[in-house]
Amino acid sequence: MSRTCDTVRSARKTDFLHSVGNFFTRIFRGFNDIDTAYIEPQHYNYTFMMQNTNTYEEYTLKSKSGQSVTFAPKPTIKVGPYIGWRWFFIGYTFDVDNFAGGGNKKEFDLSLYSSLLGLDLYYRKSGDNYRIISTNVFGDKGRESFRKVAFSGINSSIKGFDVYYIFNHKKFSYPAAFSQSTCQKRSCGSPLVGVGYTSHSISLDYEELEKALQTYGKTHFGMSEDEVALDSGLMFRNVKYSSISVSGGYAYNWVFMKNCLFSASLSLAIAYKESEGDQSSADDRKLKAFNFNNFNLDGIGRFGVVWNNKKWYVGASSVLHTYNYKKSRFSSNGYFGSFNIYAGVNFGKKREYK
């Protein structure tokens, strides 16, 4: 009797494990379930790619009275290797100007792509080569004749992730355009929906900023120091933004000739944002009014063109993120983008394609 009960329990346990295994197998297959009339699956297990990345970013800080200053670092040129295994893709790029050391710019990206879902993780830290590219603190005198001014008193970093769901994933391939892990055979589009989180930090030496503007105003416009003064809304040293967003948009893959694809997608995100920072008035009193919670609209755009014959591929892509933070006494608008040129090869052919 005891042996019979043990046999029954063992059979039930085996059936349960088989059921769990089958459940997760169906989920995994669903992540890469495609219509082969529209999408050619990847024939290889691995890929190696070299990529040139050109990045640009810009921040505009604006006070309640309308005084504003716009900063942007010099555009950077980066190169680096990427390695992929099926729908897992990781890479690292380094700044060509700082190859021998001495720079503090860093960038890290991790992307996971499947036909159903996509995940982007990113981390960027700026260097100290910012420039003031526009400002209205000089009034009408500087609107037309202002020239870019080097400014090392600002630093920024951004980190976060985006997860998105592709509705028409059986016929539309996001990976075909941005990770080259499949090939789009026929033109097709799909709605997208996603969620994301971003943490953004800006450090500003407002005393150095005011001094730089006063020097410029005196040198170029003959203005006194009293005529060039920052509003209290721009007098902060550190501010940290964080946001949780829900996005929706549309993407389209256009196969304009054999093995050639052009892709474009636009998403609009509704983001709930928090910010913490410190402000100093002219008499150095700390104000706590710089904290705020609000909703804003952000945007994400992706564009790409690629030639892919399943073994070799070459292409270019561009990604642009925009962020907006607004409060009655202060606002910040910024964007960062990248333009990539890449070439790679797939290897380690899958068993079913040998």
Largest Cα span, the chain = 104
* Domain co-membership, 16 together with 77: no
Looking at the structure of the chain, the number of domains it has is 2
User: Residues 209-231: pLDDT tens digits?
Assistant: 888 988 888 888 888 887 888 88
Domain range enclosing 269: 36-353
**pLDDT value for 37:** 92
* Domain co-membership, 13 together with 140: no
Separation between Cα atoms, residue 29 and residue 21, nearest integer Å = 12
| pLDDT at 279 > cutoff 60 | no
* Domain co-membership, 69 together with 85: yes
* Domain co-membership, 154 together with 26: no
Most confident of 30-39, 131-140, 157-166, 329-338: 157-166
* Domain co-membership, 269 together with 294: yes
* Domain co-membership, 46 together with 119: yes
| pLDDT at 155 > cutoff 70 | yes
| pLDDT at 281 > cutoff 50 | no
* Domain co-membership, 24 together with 86: no
Measured CA to CA in angstroms, residue 6 lies from 2, 9, 12, 13, 19 at distances of: 6, 5, 10, 10, 20
Question: Residue 128 maps to which CATH number?
Answer: 2.40.128
* Domain co-membership, 115 together with 11: no
Most confident of 108-117, 161-170, 231-240, 324-333: 161-170
* Range list of β-strands (E), the chain: 39-40, 44-63, 68-73, 76-85, 88-92, 94-95, 106-113, 117-125, 130-135, 149-150, 154-166, 183-184, 188-204, 236-257, 260-280, 286-287, 292-308, 312-327, 330-349
* Domain co-membership, 85 together with 230: yes
334: buried, middle or exposed (CB in 10 Å: 19+, 13-18, 0-12)? buried
Beta carbons within 8 Å of 42's beta carbon, 6+ residues apart? 86, 181, 182, 310, 346, 350
Answer with the residue of higher pLDDT: 52 or 141.
52
**pLDDT value for 290:** 47
* Domain co-membership, 217 together with 265: yes
Length of the chain: 354
* Domain co-membership, 5 together with 60: no
Q: What is the DSSP letter of 42?
A: P
User: Residues 21-63: pLDDT tens digits?
Assistant: 454 445 455 556 788 999 998 889 888 999 998 888 888 888 8
* Domain co-membership, 10 together with 129: no
Q: How far is CA 19 from the centre of its chain?
A: 39
